[in-house]
A and B are shown apart, each in its own frame.
Chain A
Amino acid sequence: MAEAILKIFRGTREGGELAEYRVPVAPGMVVLDALHHVQKHQAPDLALRWNCKAGKCGSCSAEVNGRPRLTCKTRMDALPQDKPITVLPMKAFPVIKDLVTDVSWNYRVNKKIPPFQPRAGTEWKMYQPDIDRVQEFRKCIECFLCQNVCHVLREHGKQEQFGGPRFFVRVAALEMDPLDGLSRTHLLKDQLGLGLCNITKCCTEVCPEGIRITDNAIIPLKERVVDDFYDPWHWLLRKLGKKVSKSVAEH
């Protein structure tokens, strides 16, 4: 049977190193299987998160040969066989142990987003295209690979100013819902730092659910922010609109 060499990060926040393990490769094997093999036979204390083994729970995110991926959806035969396979924890989040990282920052960002709020007197009916548009964003499994790969968080450490692609997807789902009555453009501009995104599309490249994060969520949101804060034509119309409604109210 063919054998693969895995180089897995072993360590904690204080530091660590790559440890080497040899694993027999079976047909159809994925990296998560290889990690489980290591855990079963060589390192019972190897820490890793996993749950469904089917690319739906979003737990087994790691960096395989330097690419952020779900280990359960990364086939061993898709990787170069002649070189060791490196498996590292996500870089943008603090390591707890081995491949397990502390992703709690994401949950704090999530709390900033006001949830769905229906318009007053909403008729609870939606057209299919509206449903399809929002449905794409609902596919998110919160694996946080997009957050991990985004260079604003990963390289520039803007966790305090920036929400990250995952939460732009969530805001997009709410903003594009025709039954929702709230505007979240202030939040996007000031608290989630949408402007820090320079649309280099790495989030879209790593999304295991194939959500077109940049094209379908981030860019339309950027346009909404522009409409509300930077577009001189919209600004003028709003001014005029206010005056008109004021004079209507006075008469």
Chain B
Amino acid sequence: MASVGNAGVEGTSGPSAWWLQIVPVVVGLGGFGAYATFRAFEGAYFQWGPYLSPFYSPLIDVHHHYWPFSPALLILGGPLSFRLTCYYYRKAYYRAFFLDPPACSVAENPSRRYGGETCWPLLNGEMGKVHTCFIAIYRKPCKMVGIFRTEEDLHSALKKIEQLQERSEQLAVSGSRMFNPGWHLARDLKSMLTVSEAVTRSALARRESRGAHSRIDCPNLDAAWGKQNTVISRRGRSMELRQMPVPQMPGDLQSLLADEKGAGA
């Protein structure tokens, strides 16, 4: 499986100016590397007064009795191998000098073979329109059938819902069914409108304030409403509201509740 995803679309080549991250490494570390290589092979000018270049410290066979090359080469192998195998530095080497990867989420040359750190010397690193309708439902009645309600608002919400019900007859979905929230919404819309209407009609009938239902025009709790539920049923194309008495609480629950009240008092 090659990289598929968004390949080939314009603007996919990763963050712009990614090269800014590697320029300091190439200039600084690269420059030091070039300079250090030159000084190491030079084999001269490594002492000045009491000072000795670290590349030549300690002095080994400076007069070339046994080693014909620069003595620095005998010393530098140690720190160099430490540096090359250091996990921390390898990120800088791979990014800045091998461009593999040049920076995160930046495209690389696809034709290049990649072995990571599996071969010597790296060996595993020790080496439609539905939505306008939806928004209308969501926003308009939400404003009008919120927690604080008035008769006037509820009436206009009801009118709005009726208009939306008419509009929903012409519901259409764009795009395919795959991952299409609009399609789900189209399926849900009828029920949502029905529930919205039921909530609004019940809120209109309940001329009191109770819990999350606050009628600004009827601010007081009405004891009679505490004893009845609103039951809504369909009659033809319209809704019918009836008030039914709240079912009697079973005896065992009643006693439990009485206990709790007693304990809380």
Q: Is B166 an interface residue (CB 8 A)?
A: no
**Contacts of B6 on A, CB cut-off 8 Å?**
9, 63, 88-91, 95
Question: What band does the interface of chain A fall in when counting residues whose beta carbon is under 8 Å from B?
Answer: 35 or more
Chain B positions 224-265 with a Cβ under 8 Å from a chain A Cβ: none
Q: Is A47 an interface residue (CB 8 A)?
A: yes
What is the number of residues of chain B that contact chain A, defined by CB distance less than 8 Å?
Answer: 57
Q: With A45-B174, A155-B3 in contact, do A196 and B116 touch (Cβ < 8 Å)?
A: yes
Q: With A66-B15, A91-B3 in contact, do A195 and B124 touch (Cβ < 8 Å)?
A: yes
Q: Is B29 an interface residue (CB 8 A)?
A: no
**Contacts of A95 on B, CB cut-off 8 Å?**
4-6
Q: Is A5 an interface residue (CB 8 A)?
A: no
B3, B11, B122: the one within 8 Å of A7 (CB): B11
Binds A, one of B37-45, B153-161, B181-189: B181-189
Q: Is A86 an interface residue (CB 8 A)?
A: yes
**A92 and B180: CB pair below 8 A?**
no
Q: How far is the CB of B205 from chain A (nearest CB, A)?
A: 33
Q: How far is the CB of A229 from chain B (nearest CB, A)?
A: 8
**A226 and B126: CB pair below 8 A?**
yes
Q: How far is the CB of B11 from chain A (nearest CB, A)?
A: 5
Chain A proximity mask over B110-150: 1 for CB below 8 Å, otherwise 0: 10001111100011111111111011000000000000000
**B5 and A91: CB pair below 8 A?**
yes
Q: Is A189 an interface residue (CB 8 A)?
A: yes
Q: Is B193 an interface residue (CB 8 A)?
A: no
Chain A positions 59-112 with a Cβ under 8 Å from a chain B Cβ: 63, 65-68, 86, 88-98, 100-101, 105
Q: Is B223 an interface residue (CB 8 A)?
A: no
Residues of chain B at the chain A interface (Cβ within 8 Å): 1-16, 87, 90-91, 94-95, 100-101, 104-105, 107-108, 110, 114-118, 122-132, 134-135, 173-176, 178-183, 185
Interface CB pairs A-B, < 8 A, 14: A40-B135, A43-B175, A66-B13, A67-B105, A88-B5, A91-B6, A91-B105, A94-B4, A95-B6, A154-B3, A155-B107, A189-B124, A195-B116, A198-B125
